[in-house]
Amino acid sequence: MVNQTSKVTIVPESEIAGLITSQTAFDAVEATFAAMSRRSAYNFPVIREAIGHADALYGFKSGFDRESLALGLKSGGYWPENEVRGLTNHQSTVILFDADTGRVKALVGGNLLTALRTAAASAVSIKYLAPKNARVLGMIGAGHQSAFQMRAAVEHRNFEKVIGWNFHPEMLSRLSETARDLDLPFESVSLADLGEQADVIISITSSFAPLLMDSHVTSSTHIACMGTDTKGKQEVEASLLTRATVFTDEIAQSISIGEAQHAIASNVLKETHINEIGSVINGDHPGRNTDDEITLFDGTGVGLQDLAVARVAVDLAVERGVAREVTF
């Protein structure tokens, strides 16, 4: 007789904060980027659609990691009217499957995990690419993700100051409060001053036009472009990518939905000039070559990042007795 039932582990959104630290997310994402570069983990094409209801964008990101056996998808999207309902506009859930049998294995709340895995990606780029003596962190963007980005970044260099700019200045309090929590002084500056003074720049906005211009960046810096994850979005001027050594999580996404899409479309950058961050982690690419170089990480956000952190969340939830199990 064939057993048709599966035991499914549920890790609700409310448990994630107690399970996943920024270090846990960092380790999972670093290992995933390395596995992607060894070609033992790969992402499937991204689906993202305007569904013609509630103004929502819905989609899923999926993939498989043959090393960790993480198989599954993150599904969800953006519901702009959620805020008036007292809900987060971004909604996501991760579904994991058993790689040996295809049976559903776990259902994991994906909202906080998304912020943690995105911050972990830019932190990985900072660890491997930022100037060693970086002292000033420049933040472009002050939305939901920005606080997670700042907290993860400061774990990898001895920053002495945070400077920031945002399209909506009234949101800058998020940056100043996060910096205060981290015992760092914060100053709101113009984009030109930010480009001139910051040793590391993180951009995390939903902009559709360049904010940081080529002329703003006057010396060595590392730029983590984290906001551009959709066709049409843009945070930095395309010509800046020609001055920088460019890295990404996944080249296919970088040239289609990432920051590099514009430089590629205008023929100022060739796909062959974009490097995988995983190759730096694996020691196949030296990363930053000189102290006065500009490095740029195009963090497009891949499904494997979501699967990696969700897999760890399931293991920890089971270990600590906070997972719920249902027979399915």
Question: Are residues 19 and 322 in contact, defined by beta-carbon separation less than 8 angstroms?
Answer: yes
Question: Are residues 12 and 324 in contact, defined by beta-carbon separation less than 8 angstroms?
Answer: yes
Joined together, the tokens standing for residue 57 give 């964008």
Q: Per CB under 6 A, does 237 bind ligand NAD? A: no
Separation CA 203–CA 223 (nearest Å) = 8
DSSP string for 276-292: EHHHHHTTSS----STT
Site residues (CB under 6 A) for ligand NAD, limited to 135-164: 141-146
Closer CB to ligand NAD, 8 or 297, in the complex = 297
Q: Is 115 left (phi over 0), alpha (psi -120 to 50) or beta?
A: alpha
- Strands laid side by side in the 221-225 sheet: 186-188, 161-165, 136-140, 200-203, 221-225, 294-298, 245-248, 274-276
Distances (CA, A) of 32 to 96, 124, 152: 16, 11, 17
Q: Per CB under 6 A, does 303 bind ligand NAD? A: no
Q: Which stretch binds ligand NAD (CB under 6 A): 9-17, 59-67, 179-187, 299-307?
A: 299-307
Joined together, the tokens standing for residue 272 give 């062959």
Separation CA 94–CA 60 (nearest Å) = 9
Separation CA 225–CA 128 (nearest Å) = 15
Q: In the complex, what is the shortest distance from the CB of residue 163 to ligand NAD, in angstroms, rounded to a whole number? A: 15
Closer CB to ligand NAD, 166 or 221, in the complex = 166
Q: In the complex, what is the shortest distance from the CB of residue 302 to ligand NAD, in angstroms, rounded to a whole number? A: 8
Site residues (CB under 6 A) for ligand NAD, limited to 77-106: 90
Across the strands, what pairs with 107?
A: 10, 95
- 161 catalytic? Reply is no
Q: Per CB under 6 A, does 301 bind ligand NAD? A: yes
Q: Per CB under 6 A, does 226 bind ligand NAD? A: yes
Work out which of 9, 92, 118, 234 binds ligand NAD, going by CB under 6 A: 118
Q: Per CB under 6 A, does 38 bind ligand NAD? A: no
Q: Which of 7, 61, 74, 161 is catalytic?
A: 74
Closer CB to ligand NAD, 65 or 229, in the complex = 229
Site residues (CB under 6 A) for ligand NAD, limited to 242-261: none
Closer CB to ligand NAD, 168 or 231, in the complex = 168
List CB contacts of 258: < 8 A, sequence separation 6 or more: 225, 228, 229, 248, 298, 299, 300
State the Cα angle at 258 between 286 and 136, rounded to 5°: 60
Q: Is 198 left (phi over 0), alpha (psi -120 to 50) or beta?
A: beta
Closer CB to ligand NAD, 48 or 285, in the complex = 48
Q: Which stretch binds ligand NAD (CB under 6 A): 48-56, 99-107, 129-137, 201-209?
A: 201-209
Q: Per CB under 6 A, does 76 bind ligand NAD? A: no
Site residues (CB under 6 A) for ligand NAD, limited to 162-191: 166-168, 171
Q: Which stretch binds ligand NAD (CB under 6 A): 5-13, 184-192, 263-271, 296-304?
A: 296-304
Q: Per CB under 6 A, does 227 bind ligand NAD? A: yes
Work out which of 15, 30, 199, 229 binds ligand NAD, going by CB under 6 A: 229
Chain contacts with ligand NAD (rule: CB under 6 A)? 90, 114, 118, 141-146, 166-168, 171, 204-207, 211, 226-227, 229, 299-301
| Active-site amino acid positions | 74
